[in-house]
Amino acid sequence: MTKTTDVTDPKAELECLLTGHARAVMPELPDVEVKLDRPREAAHGDYATNVALAGAKAQKRAPREVAQAFVALAQADAAVRALVEAIDVAGPGFVNLRLTPAARQAVVERILAERGAFGRTRERAGERIMVEFVSANPTGPLHVGHGRQAALGDAISSLLETQGASVTREFYYNDAGQQIQNLAISVRARAKEILGESGEFPEDGYRGEYIRELAQRYLDEVGHDLHDVEAIRHFAVAELRKEQDRDLQAFGVRFDNYYLESSLYTDGRVGATVARLASSGMTYESEGALWLKTTAFGDDKDRVMRKSDGGTRTSCPTSPTT
């Protein structure tokens, strides 16, 4: 047989060499090939093969007997010894191999030679995948949990790209609803405190020191008129978004698209969806709220679509999804 000369790939080199010895030990199987796999436990070596177990039955021989004969031939081969410092039989007939330091270094050299192409394929070419991750509410600074999700989502996106997929990284902003209203009222209350006025702080308000900083910036950059809660909301959300963006950029995480929950309302998508569901006969009014008959589809209770204060229920995943 012809031995490969690509010494920068010791695994392929060994598979080629060992295949010749396996065929010599098992002449009844002239097409047998040795495939090396990583053992489950590093203590068992760098590679392992079950070729003796797979071929023993055809020869009507004990697997360990076949494995020992196979190992004896391999150990006598100088080309194998140049790559393997230890080869032994384990269990019912597995063969474990441990590479020489020089062979391990060859693996590193191969990775360095291939650089950006290492591990890349085109198996998912043509697939378009959206990965939505982090998606922190713009009601405060990012924390360690968001950092974990940023690392995880970015790693998933990069992995998909190395396999040929076209990936869009998306950040979904929950910039609508009661929590955002509480943010605006919290900033206004702190601004009034700074001005020496009394301001009612919401029970579910945000009390971090960053709220006071936002309030001071609003007073400095916008003015002292605190009647327009919508203007305060817009300012606070924009400032917190900028801060989150700076943190993510410093972390080395980028996004292709930022999707705002508020756009679902301004674009009329929420209203159109609610109207369509209402016209289907699957909704009803109760206690001033609009309910969806989800129990008709196996839910344990009906769900509120539009609350009594006019707000709608929306949700946002908080972990990377594809």
Give residue 311's pLDDT. 62
Other C-beta atoms lying within 10 Å of the C-beta of residue 88: 15
pLDDT at 171 over 60: yes
Domains and CATH numbers, the chain: 10-105 (3.30.1360.70), 120-265 (3.40.50.620)
| Residues β-bridged to residue 303 | 292
Q: Please tell me the predicted confidence (pLDDT) of residue 59.
A: 80
Rounded to whole angstroms, how far apart are CA atoms 245 and 109? 38
Distance CA 178, CA 167 (A): 32
Average pLDDT over the chain, rounded to whole? 89
Residue 216 has pLDDT above 60, yes or no: yes
CB neighbour burial string for 208-228, b if at least 16 within 10 angstroms, e if fewer = eebbbebbeebbeeeeeebee
**Does the predicted TM-score (pTM) go above 0.75?**
no
CA-nearest of 247, 238, 249, 233 to 142 is 247
Distance of CA 197 to the CA centre of its chain: 47
> Is the pLDDT confidence value at 243 over 70?
yes
Per-residue pLDDT reduced to its tens digit, 44-93: 899 999 999 988 888 889 999 999 999 999 999 999 999 999 999 999 99
Q: Which two tokens stand for residue 240?
A: 């917190």
